[in-house]
Amino acid sequence: MVAFIGPPSPLIDGDDYRKKPEDFTIPPKWVSFQTTVAYKYYDIMNTFDCVEDDASGVNDLMRWGLCLKSCDFIAVRSSFEIEPEWLQVLETIHEKPVFPVGQLPPVEYELEEKNSDAWSSMKKWLDMQEKSSVVYVAFGSEAKPSQAQLTELALGLELSGLPFFWVLRTRRGISDTDLIELPPGFEERTKGQGVVCATWAPQLMILAHESIAGFLTHSGWSSVVEALTFQKALILLTFYSDQGINARVLEEKKIGYSIPRNELDGSFTRDSVAESLRLVMVSEEGKMYRDRAKEMSGLFGDRDRQDKYVDNILIYLKSHRPVKKAESQY
């Protein structure tokens, strides 16, 4: 994503050659290798306000460019094993050191039960499901589907016939008055099939459970890392910001499968939801996504490899720390 945004000068000066949303639907000109990584039109339309000036006369990309221009080096949550070509692009366009700090996978203490009463009831339901049968559905703390999207999602889950555990946010904080609701009768009809959780849920502990096989996610990178650490296959449904770029990287590397959508408005149907879930979770055609999740687990969950990335940046920081001036004798 940092490489896709580009060098700082055009962002600061406002002379980026990309002026229209459709300009972001193709790889940028500073990327010399063949790639499909670019925004879908519906994704950039949900994100394009970042190029528009706010009340202060400054836009988000200008602020981003100023930060990148002023820093001494760039540290990014990434690894050479996943995207070496993009890390090289970063060094080229910024002409300063770039350090991948690894994928920062969860550590053991994060799996401790922090709310045993809430988790115990969730675990009880998960324990009753067959191993590697359940799809976990969650879109992070910020992303929220529209009412139309929520309806198709719910009916798609029902239509799939797969067991599901859905952590659903119907509003983003108390200031969000645009409430969304499940289709009438959905929870009653799916009582034996799945669970809808509208409160806190321990995502790491859910993903670590052996009954979970797949993760329908917004493609936020923390969620991606957590899922792959626990070998969960990825079904992708993006909403805004860097999610579209993350999804294209995962698609290109055959690590995740995106639900088919209308290219202009991003709409999708219950049928496409159901078919996508069945493809990734159970069909022979989608076996490669299940296999890739297991393959990536060895990379994303490799603690020794992770420590080496962190060690590299610590060595750099120690060797480049400012030298204190000798105290004056007078």
Q: pLDDT averaged over the chain?
A: 91
Other Cβ atoms closer than 10 A to 93: 20
Give the predicted TM-score (pTM) of the model: 0.92
d(CA 53, CA 191): 48
Cβ-based burial of 215 (10 A; exposed 0-12, middle 13-18, buried ≥19): buried
Identify the structural domains of the chain with CATH numbers, from first to last.
2-100 (no CATH), 108-300 (3.40.50.2000)
Q: What is the pLDDT of residues 233-264, one digit of tens each?
A: 999 999 999 999 999 999 999 999 999 999 99
Which one-letter DSSP state was computed for residue 202? Answer: -
Q: Is it the case that residue 54 has pLDDT exceeding 80?
A: no
d(CA 320, CA 221): 30
Q: Is it the case that residue 176 has pLDDT exceeding 80?
A: no
Q: What is the pLDDT of residues 275-321, one digit of tens each?
A: 999 999 999 999 999 999 999 998 888 888 889 999 999 999 999 88
Q: Is it the case that residue 74 has pLDDT exceeding 60?
A: yes
Q: From edge to edge, which strands make up the β-sheet containing 194-197? A: 194-197, 164-167, 134-138, 212-217, 233-236, 256-258
d(CA 262, CA 268): 6
Helix, strand, coil: what percent of the chain each, to 5? 45, 10, 45
Q: Is it the case that residue 149 has pLDDT exceeding 90?
A: yes
